[in-house]
């Protein structure tokens, strides 16, 4: 599908020229702009207010040197970033990614998607993303701490509880958020909710750790229900084995599915007896080890090298929860041939455009990332609320709110798709519903905001 509307086409062509070396960012923008054609045509004020050219340009990008000293006394230098993409509906909000592949293109795609995802949560949060090409794998706790302290020494100048509130993403979990929070507090002499994903004793929210994976399953459940189906008795395949994959495995299992496979960037585990999320927690959270060691815990588990092979395992429901572009057109065709009937994205942009086209053409129920994985950031916003009122809600209270939010996101996406004549297309529906709220706020605030 190509962009046909002349206004959208002109903006996208200009963007391509200016950002020719940012393929992931252009991929994310193209998908959104394709969805917005009927909206732009029905609402001339969008073009009149230059909304599209403004929304594709980050309000601010900060790039900085992060120097730190490793355990051998050698000086190391990484590159740090924060992309403050859009603050129309609230302070910038979004995770920090620590992975050697991190570059501006990846963080701009993530920050751009975050605008619409955060809008869908119904909560007042703008879009942002940040991180570094630092690789936490193989580093000692002390090295991670020194890196995080150096990273925060610069980042602290640009964030704040009412300005920009970072959180975790790939390579950033409770340990890293702790080091970042400690350094921010030391620098600013302030005990505030400037980060989310904090430990419970330091203002964190119960259920934030579980939220993205649980939310993904709540969303998938709504999508299945609407089609007269459920998780009960179904076989599921979940890629990745980090935060999102672990709690998606737990919730999918609780809802009656059998999760038969998980993975990391080296390979995948297949276990016909069903994956136990408690073993995943032990391997990844406690031991910080590779997923191939799962075979030491289960007699029926088998390990295969290479992560792409996970999509050749027959399943009813596939939940990609690792990283961008991990599920391509070829894998999508194999999944369809093997009978998959629902795919929902726990990771950000895990399906390539070719894969999405296959799912939509073949009538597979498809839950796009912006909608399906919004439970993490939604619960981060609930953590911000609790920090503001200096109160802590119970696990059940937060989980119930998360559940309501995921139901609402499904409803917003499916109704928007219907309203613009694309019933069942949740990609278009999520993009449109997320966009309209931000566009309305931008129009209301005027052009030089
Ligand atoms: P983690 O760091 O906890 O886990 C990441 C998992 O993905 C690991 O299993 C990792 O394997 C795998 N992975 C990472 N990069 C690659 C790669 N290039 N190829 C194959 N596998 C890879 O991160 P999260 O679980 O938090 O994040 C997973 C996805 O979910 C990301 O796309 C993230 O943006 C998204 N997300 C996360 C949210 C959150 O709240 N944490 C919220 C919404 C979305 P390995 O150990 O081998 O690197
Ligand atoms: O992609 C995402 O939504 C996240 N990594 C979570 C961001 C957050 O602020 O909780």
Instruction: List, for residues 309-325, the tens digit of each pLDDT value.
Output: 999 999 999 999 999 99
pLDDT surpasses 60 at 108: yes
Q: What stretches of 160-282 adopt beta strand conformation (E)?
A: 164-167, 235-239, 258-263, 267-271
For residues 49 and 70, state if they share a domain. Answer: no
What is the biggest distance separating any 2 CA atoms in the chain, rounded to whole angstroms?
64
pLDDT at 124: 98
- Answer yes or no: is 33 within a domain: yes
State the ligand closest to the CA atom of 173.
1
> Separation of 136 CA from ligand 1 center, angstroms?
13
Chain mean pLDDT for the chain: 97
pLDDT at 98: 98
State the ligand closest to the CA atom of 129.
2
d(CA 394, CA 365): 33
User: Does the CB atom of residue 262 touch ligand 1 within 6 A?
Assistant: no
Expressed as residue numbers, the domain containing 15 is 6-55
Averaged pLDDT, 90-99: 98
For residues 268 and 148, state if they share a domain. Answer: no
Indicate which residue of 93, 129, 198, 258 is catalytic: 129
Atom of ligand 1 nearest to the CA of 380: 40
Interval 153-182: pLDDT, tens: 999 999 999 999 999 999 999 999 999 999
pTM of the model: 0.98
C-alpha distances in Å from residue 225, one per residue of 10, 230, 448: 40, 6, 45
pLDDT at 48: 97
User: Does the CB atom of residue 376 touch ligand 2 within 6 A?
Assistant: yes
Averaged pLDDT, 123-144: 98
Q: Let me know if 129 is a catalytic residue.
A: yes
- Answer yes or no: is 424 within a domain: no
**Best of 123, 128, 240, 380 to mutate for ligand 2, by most ligand atoms within 8 A of CB?**
380
Averaged pLDDT, 327-333: 98
pLDDT at 125: 98
- Answer yes or no: is 355 within a domain: yes
For residues 102 and 172, state if they share a domain. Answer: yes
**Domain count for the chain:** 3
- Answer yes or no: is 135 within a domain: yes
- For residue 257 the two structure tokens come to 């599915």
pLDDT at 279: 98
Residue 165, SS3? strand
Give the end of a domain, one of 40, 55, 70: 55
**Best of 242, 303, 320 to mutate for ligand 1, by most ligand atoms within 8 A of CB?**
242
Interval 275-303: pLDDT, tens: 999 999 999 999 999 999 999 999 999 99
pLDDT at 137: 95
Output the domain CATH number for residue 215.
3.40.50.720
Q: What stretches of 194-250 adopt beta strand conformation (E)?
A: 235-239
Atom 20 (ligand 1) nearest CA: 265
In the block, tokens 């193989």 appear at: 138
Residue 125, SS3? coil
In the block, tokens 């609320």 appear at: 385
Under DSSP, the state recorded for 52 is H
% of the chain residues with pLDDT over 90? 99
Atom of ligand 2 nearest to the CA of 113: 1
For residues 172 and 24, state if they share a domain. Answer: no
d(CA 178, CA 181): 5
User: Does the CB atom of residue 205 touch ligand 1 within 6 A?
Assistant: no
User: Does the CB atom of residue 380 touch ligand 2 within 6 A?
Assistant: yes
User: Does the CB atom of residue 379 touch ligand 2 within 6 A?
Assistant: no
Averaged pLDDT, 6-25: 98
Bridge partners, 82 (sequence order): 62, 130
Give the end of a domain, one of 34, 55, 76: 55
Atom 43 (ligand 1) nearest CA: 373
pLDDT at 449: 52
> Separation of 69 CA from ligand 2 center, angstroms?
29
User: Does the CB atom of residue 321 touch ligand 1 within 6 A?
Assistant: yes
DSSP string, 175-201: HHHHHHHHHHHHHHT-----SSS--GG
For residues 353 and 217, state if they share a domain. Answer: yes
pLDDT surpasses 70 at 1: no
pLDDT at 448: 73
Atom 9 (ligand 2) nearest CA: 94
State the ligand closest to the CA atom of 283.
1
d(CA 440, CA 438): 5
Atom 13 (ligand 1) nearest CA: 322
Q: What is the dihedral of CA 81, 85, 87, 93, to 10 degrees?
A: -50
For residues 67 and 51, state if they share a domain. Answer: no
């Amino acid at each position: 599908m190509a962009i046909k509307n002349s206004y959208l086409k002109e903006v996208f062509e200009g963007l391509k020229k200016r950002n020719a070396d940012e393929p992931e960012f252009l991929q994310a923008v193209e998908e959104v702009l394709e969805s917005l054609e009927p909206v732009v045509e029905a609402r001339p004020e969008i073009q009149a207010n230059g909304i599209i050219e403004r929304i594709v340009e980050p309000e601010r990008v900060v790039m900085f040197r992060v120097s730190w000293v490793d355990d051998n006394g050698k000086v190391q230098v990484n590159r740090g970033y924060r992309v403050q993409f859009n603050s129309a509906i609230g302070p910038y909000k979004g995770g920090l990614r620590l992975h050697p592949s991190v570059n501006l293109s990846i963080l701009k795609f993530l920050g751009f998607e975050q605008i619409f995802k955060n809008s869908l949560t119904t909560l007042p949060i703008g879009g942002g993303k940040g991180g570094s090409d630092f690789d936490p794998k193989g580093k000692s706790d002390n090295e991670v701490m020194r890196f995080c302290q150096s990273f925060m020494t610069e980042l602290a100048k640009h964030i704040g509880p009412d300005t920009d509130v970072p959180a975790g993403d790939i390579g950033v979990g409770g340990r890293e958020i702790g080091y970042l929070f400690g350094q921010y507090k030391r620098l600013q002499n302030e005990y505030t909710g400037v980060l989310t994903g904090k430990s419970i004793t330091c203002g964190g929210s119960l259920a934030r750790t579980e939220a993205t994976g649980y939310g993904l399953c709540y969303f998938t459940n709504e999508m299945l229900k609407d089609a007269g189906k459920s998780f009960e008795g179904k076989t599921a395949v979940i890629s990745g084995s980090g935060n999102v994959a672990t709690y998606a495995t737990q919730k999918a299992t609780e809802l009656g599915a059998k999760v038969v496979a998980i993975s990391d960037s080296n390979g995948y585990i297949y276990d016909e007896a069903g994956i136990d999320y408690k073993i995943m927690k032990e391997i990844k959270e406690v031991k910080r080890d590779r997923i191939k060691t799962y075979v030491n815990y289960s007699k029926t588990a088998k390990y295969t090298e290479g992560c792409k092979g996970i999509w050749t395992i027959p399943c009813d429901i596939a939940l990609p929860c690792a990283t961008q572009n991990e599920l391509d057109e070829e894998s999508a065709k194999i999944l369809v041939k093997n009978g998959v009937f629902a795919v929902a994205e726990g990771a950000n942009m895990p399906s390539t455009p070719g894969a999405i086209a296959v799912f939509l053409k073949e009538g597979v129920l498809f839950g796009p990332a912006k909608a399906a994985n919004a439970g993490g950031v939604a619960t981060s916003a609930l953590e911000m609320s609790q920090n503001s009122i200096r109160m802590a809600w119970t696990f059940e209270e937060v989980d119930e709110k998360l559940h309501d939010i995921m139901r609402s996101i499904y409803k917003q996406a499916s109704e928007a798709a219907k309203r613009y004549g694309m019933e069942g297309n949740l990609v278009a529906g999520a993009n449109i519903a997320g966009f309209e709220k931000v566009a309305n706020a931008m129009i209301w605030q005027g052009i030089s905001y």
